[in-house]
Amino acid sequence: MPQDLAPSGRKVFIKTYGCQMNVYDSERMSDVLTPMGFSETQTAEDADLVILNTCHIREKAAEKVYSELGRLRVLKEERAAKGLKTMIGVAGCVAQAEGEEIIRRAPVVDMVFGPQAYHRLPEFMAEAQRGTRGQVETDFPVEDKFDALPAAERKKTLARGRAAFLTVQEGCDKFCTFCVVPYTRGAEFSRPVQRIEAEARRLAEAGVREITLLGQNVNAFHGQGPDGADWPLGKLIRHLAKIDGIERIRYTTSHPRDMDAALIEAHGEVPELMPYLHLPVQSGSDRILEAMNRQHTAESYLRLIERIRAARPGIALSSDFIVGFPGETEADFEATLDLVREVNYAQAYSFKYSPRPGTPAAGEEEQLPEEVKSERLQRLQALLNEQQLVFNASCEGRIMKVLLDRRGRRQGQLVGRSPYLQSVVVSAPESVFGAIVPVKVLRGGANSLDGELVETAAAAE
């Protein structure tokens, strides 16, 4: 008989798929488990509890979960043969979308719970321990899960690095016709400003210097301010920028429809707000944008970019693209290439359209063949990669402030982020680890910059 989990000294392995909100949620799950005697491990082999925090955005993302569960089945049996018990949980957007189906397809799973239920993890574990196998908890409860989630200890926060995510908004009411997020994360919800501020202060006190405000639709933020009024994101950013220790602020992901004047102004006026904006456009064809229910045109997006660039000259722009949306013609696709040429992105993500069950576009008749999608993706990526390289190369010779928060592959190397979110590799002593230092860019490559530390900060951007 496998023994019960020991009350302390237990290990949890959390594997995170998908977007940054899942990264944030995984950290919160780990924080819930700490007082229960769990510490984190980086491999499933020595874990008493394995949690897959899953993503449902494209078919591939969802299928990865099932192949991982196949491996975990073998592992669970091997550990059981040694008298060790392993509990397996599936969290995140696949859990929310597929619920019971997961238990049916993968009986190895002990519990399934959606993104709004993480604070109840101890309860689910106790139930699973009692043998009520197959706990499924995917209702959207009304309470604020954030209130119920504990804050990480200072030491743990610091161990996670000098840059941290902070979820300010969840869910989406936009219903783009290709997207599962409104179904997996539910309706839009903004956290109250005071709670966000308290979390930001706690992070700053623990040594965090850069915060990225997260939301599936972050610029739709409208959390209640201390004055009782709803605050837009621009106002929240100005407020958080005043916190001692918070030197850099970013936010992601935005929708073009919600880029209001206050937010655009903040880009010009708040030095802590980094000169980088991820603003997904998806397509450059108005016909396709309409079919996607994006609620903007190529032209309105381009005008928006002009206003943002006027407010903050030199801002680096990023986007998401989908190629091969149902009914996309060669002319539609070329309109996307035209838009890319006109904007000139510093970096971008691009995907082949993946029909998702339950979304309107998945039911469209005119689905494109795989070869067409692949060929268009290649052409788009060639253009985007070229633009990224040009942008990185244009940084050569510039002095930028870099937050050195990771160790490089080679001895004596530290890696950090530039204001434009580029990875910068420098030879630097351990003493500057975690600091924001001026770095001269020596070389701009396809995916990163090489630089050297410089003595004077005066000229740094």
Is 172 annotated in some ligand binding site?
yes
Torsion (CA) 230, 233, 237, 239 in degrees, nearest 10: -10
Complete DSSP assignment for 361-419: GGG-S-PPPHHHHHHHHHHHHHHHHHHHHHHHHHTTT-EEEEEEEEE-SSTTEEEEE-T
> What six digits make up the tokens of 255?
């929708």
CA–CA distance, 81 with 61 (Å, rounded to integer): 31
In the complex, minimum distance from the CB of residue 62 to ligand F3S, in angstroms, rounded to a whole number: 9
Nearer to ligand SF4, 152 or 181 (CB): 181
Closest CA to 422 of 453, 391, 398, 399: 391
Nearer to ligand F3S, 94 or 240 (CB): 94
Contact 315, 309 (CB under 8 A): yes
In three-state secondary structure terms, 83 is coil
322 sits near ligand SAH (criterion: CB under 6 A)? yes
Q: How many CB atoms lie within 10 A of CB 216?
A: 24
* Footprint (CB under 6 A) of ligand SAH, residues 163-192: 178-179, 181
Closest CA to 97 of 58, 154, 134: 58
In the complex, minimum distance from the CB of residue 217 to ligand SF4, in angstroms, rounded to a whole number: 5
Nearer to ligand SAH, 106 or 172 (CB): 172
Nearer to ligand SF4, 62 or 395 (CB): 62
320 sits near ligand SAH (criterion: CB under 6 A)? yes
* Footprint (CB under 6 A) of ligand F3S, residues 19-38: 19, 21-22
In three-state secondary structure terms, 257 is helix
56 sits near ligand F3S (criterion: CB under 6 A)? yes
Nearer to ligand SAH, 135 or 167 (CB): 167
Amino acid letter for position 118: Y
In the complex, minimum distance from the CB of residue 408 to ligand F3S, in angstroms, rounded to a whole number: 29
208 sits near ligand F3S (criterion: CB under 6 A)? no
User: Which residue intervals of 270-369 are DSSP H helices?
Assistant: 286-291, 298-311, 330-343
Between helix 233-241 and helix 193-205 the angle, nearest 10°, is: 30
54 sits near ligand SAH (criterion: CB under 6 A)? no
The listed partner (ligand SAH, ligand F3S, ligand SF4, none) that binds 93, CB under 5 to 8 Å by sort, is ligand F3S
Interface positions with ligand SF4 (CB under 6 A): 172, 174-176, 179, 181-182, 216-217, 255
φ and ψ of 411, to 5 deg: -55, 135
Amino acid letter for position 34: T
Closest CA to 325 of 280, 277, 287: 287
Nearer to ligand F3S, 180 or 402 (CB): 180
Which range binds ligand F3S by CB under 6 A, 180-188, 346-354, 415-423, 438-446? 180-188
Which range binds ligand F3S by CB under 6 A, 51-59, 237-245, 305-313, 432-440? 51-59
Can you say whether residue 398 is alpha, beta or left, with left for phi > 0 and alpha for psi between -120 and 50 degrees?
Answer: beta
Is 176 annotated in some ligand binding site?
yes
168 sits near ligand F3S (criterion: CB under 6 A)? no
* Footprint (CB under 6 A) of ligand SAH, residues 337-366: 351, 353-354, 356
Is 19 annotated in some ligand binding site?
yes
List of residues contacting ligand F3S (CB under 6 A): 18-19, 21-22, 55-57, 92-93, 180-181, 184-185, 216
Residue list, annotated binding site = 19, 55, 93, 172, 176, 179
Residue list, annotated binding site for [4Fe-4S] cluster = 19, 55, 93, 172, 176, 179
